[in-house]
Structure 1
Amino acid sequence: MTNPTLIAGNNKVTFKSFGVDLVGDLYLPEGFNESKKYKAIVGASPFPQVKEQVLGTYGPEMAKRGFVFLGFDYLGMGDSPALPGEYKQSRYMFRLIENTWDAVSYLGTLPFVEEIYGLGVCQGGSIIASASVTDHRIKKIATVSGMMAADGFQWTDRNIANMMIEAANASRQKMYETGEADYNAPNVLTDEYTKEEFVGLGVNPMAADTYDYYGKDGVAGPGTIKNFTNMHIGDQAMQSLISIGEHYADKIVQPSLIIYSPSAFTAICSTQFIEKLTNEHEVLTFDEFGHVDFYYKPDAVKASTDAVAEFFNK
């Protein structure tokens, strides 16, 4: 664990998880004073992002609102290493949860941290929801365009789900036998597609929005963000098709805020999760925004970060 001299703004930090150093950005508010106490947020990002994407947008915004914010690269992603003998671009759900627990532990070592909250966007919503089930050090959680209830989204067409599983199984076997990484594009988008090519495939109902963010010409695509690629380890579906937070939703005790767009293709991932909650929770909807809008568009980011700040400050 590295604790450099900390200043307002973005600070590069590391902390241990699975015995290796995960790399993070610790955003501190203006006028930061180590002798004061602050509310801290551990951020969880969409799949398959690195810390410079959504977390690099939300971190400064939450710091402006007076919070300490930790965004970090999960094991095998971005600036964080893979385990010995394993491969980069290996974002596995169960490890994401444990990485998050270790991020909470790291924040707990900082003398200026008073309470710890969780904020997850897209897949990050599932990660934060899952992590909070048995980590009550996280005092409140908020999700934005969260993919918590993934069953109704990913398993609606069992044939497609089973095809994904078959391909993932084959990839895992290949990697075991060859000792070499096997990569594919789990969201179909590659680093080479033009927008016209990707939209023309007709396989993604959010294709245009997805490309505008992740494409090679996108605002946060491989041509813009260091260490990001749309390519991923080939056995990813063996874990990404399992949603823990959804099935333990009724066990979550922390007050929760769920923000989503009813008009978004992914709305069901929030609505079915909300139906299962038994805790104190609030729901905030923005019909004027789409799923990806919350990643980076100024009006959507302001709406969500204002709401999260108000909720965490209650």
Structure 2
Amino acid sequence: MEQVVKFKNRNWDVAAIMQFPKDFDETKKYPAIVCAHPISSCKEQTSGHIYGKQLAEAGFVTLAFDASYQGESGGEPRFLEDPAMRVEDFRCAADYLTTLDYVDENRIGVLGICGGGGYAANAAMTERRFKAVGTVVAANYGRVMREGNYTAGAAIHTLEAVAAQRTAQARGAETKIIGYIPNSQEERIKAGMNDIDIREAVDYYKTPRGESPNSPNRLRFDSLDKVIAFDAFHLAEHLLTQPLMIIVGDKVGAFGSYRDGYELFNKAASQNKHLHVVQGASHYDLYDRPKATNEALEHLIPFFKKNL
């Protein structure tokens, strides 16, 4: 069973999908899991309709939401990628769950995919209502943007460009909107982008495999100053103490989720922490390919059942 819901962040609505276990009875108490989508994604893709759906089938109430400023959620300006507000979305999701009589407020967990995994880990450091943390191909988006495909000085170059764009906008220029990824494989090839993560991102987001109108591949360029200054894993060695399950694939690409998974594992203060490598799986295999996602869920489901 699926229900469309909204909850507040500041003065706007965050749009979400709630999914429920089979034979759901609202007079009973259930553990709940907040599910966070990747960078540029939306609730209708992997976070809601793959992981959220299967976790609900396993007995959890799940809440998959669109980030503020994106998808069907409110917030202005549109297409903003603001790490501080992305993390606040998680806290607001926890607020909402605690208002539901059928949710056991002492058994709320969080799961994030790709950039949503980095945000989930970051949120859990200060949101202690999250009692267990799962990540799938978690990426530290700030690290990705700082490295700029490993080009020396890329972060400073981007920050200088953002500064110039903000000046132009302050003087009346139109907002600059860019894409997260190429809009087609032809565009990708023309740009000389041959990395596996870029190839498969285009295949996932820009074809019927995963495309959604709520994931339009649009990003405010002047978001990038906030992203570059963000480190999803900052203070994890002090504050991330909850049980932790990290899933990565062993096909390594430019987004660095394999590397980030190990960094998070090594850095987290959690005493109860696990890292599972899905052999033969790429970053995007773990979005929706049944062989890879089923293996991930074979570890995530018992982890959450034990710790929630």
Structure 2-normalised TM-score?
0.89
Structure 1 position 130, deviation (Å)? 0.8
Query: Shift of residue 71 of structure 1?
Result: 0.7
Partner in structure 2 of residue 236 of structure 1:
223
The amino acid across from 1:33 in the alignment is D
Matched, 1:68 2:61: yes
Tell me, in whole angstroms, the C-alpha distance in 2 between the residues paired with 1:149 and 1:77: 16
3-state secondary structure, aligned to 1:236: helix
Separation (CA, whole Å) in 2 of partners of 1:201 and 1:311: 42
Q: Which residue identity lines up with residue 81 of structure 2 in the other structure?
A: R
Aligned to 1:3: none
Structure 2 residue aligned with 1:307: 299
Within a 5 Å distance, the mapping from 1:199-214 to structure 2 comes to 199-203=189-193, 205=195, 206-214=197-205
Q: SS of 2:233's equivalent? A: helix
Q: In the alignment, is residue 169 of structure 1 matched against residue 160 of structure 2?
A: no
- AA aligned to 1:162 is I
Aligned counterpart in structure 1 of residue 87 of structure 2, from 97, 102, 117? 97
Which of 248, 270, 275 is residue 261 of structure 2 equivalent to? 270
How far apart, in 2, do the equivalents of 1:54 and 1:77 lie?
Answer: 16
Residue 306 of structure 1 and its aligned partner are, at CA, apart by 2.4
Contact 1:149 1:246 in 2 (8 A): no
Is 1:286–2:278 an aligned residue pair? Answer: yes
1:149/1:272 contact within 8 Å kept? no
Q: RMSD of the TM alignment (CA)?
A: 1.9
Q: Deviations over 1:45-76 (max 9, x none)?
A: 11111111112322111111111110111111
Match of 2:187 in 1: 197
Aligned letter for 1:17? N
Q: Which residue of 2 aligns with 1:5?
A: none
Name 2:241's counterpart in structure 1.
253
Residue from 32, 35, 43 that aligns with 1:40? 32
Distance 1:174 1:152, change over 3 A: closer
Identity of aligned residues (%): 27
Pick aligned residue for 2:2 from 10, 25, 33: 10
TM-score between the two structures when normalised by the length of structure 1? 0.88
Cα-to-partner distance string for 1:121-144 (whole Å, 9 max, x where unaligned): 000111111111111100000000
- Residue 178 of structure 1 corresponds to 172
Distance of aligned partners of 1:139 and 1:182 in 2 relative to their CA distance in 1, 3 Å threshold: same
> In structure 1, what residue type is equivalent to 2:39?
F
Distance 1:310 1:177, change over 3 A: farther
Q: 1:157 aligns with which of 142, 151, 159?
A: 151
CA distance in 1, matches of 2:141, 2:81: 19
Aligned pair in 2 of structure 1 residues 35, 93: CA closer, same or farther (>3 Å)? same
Counterpart of 2:214, as a letter, is: N
- Alpha-carbon offset, residue 200 of structure 1: 4.0
Q: Cα deviations across residues 5-57 of structure 1 (Å, max 9, x unaligned)?
A: xxxx1101011101111111011111110111111011111111111111232
One-letter amino acid of the structure 2 residue matched with residue 226 of structure 1: P
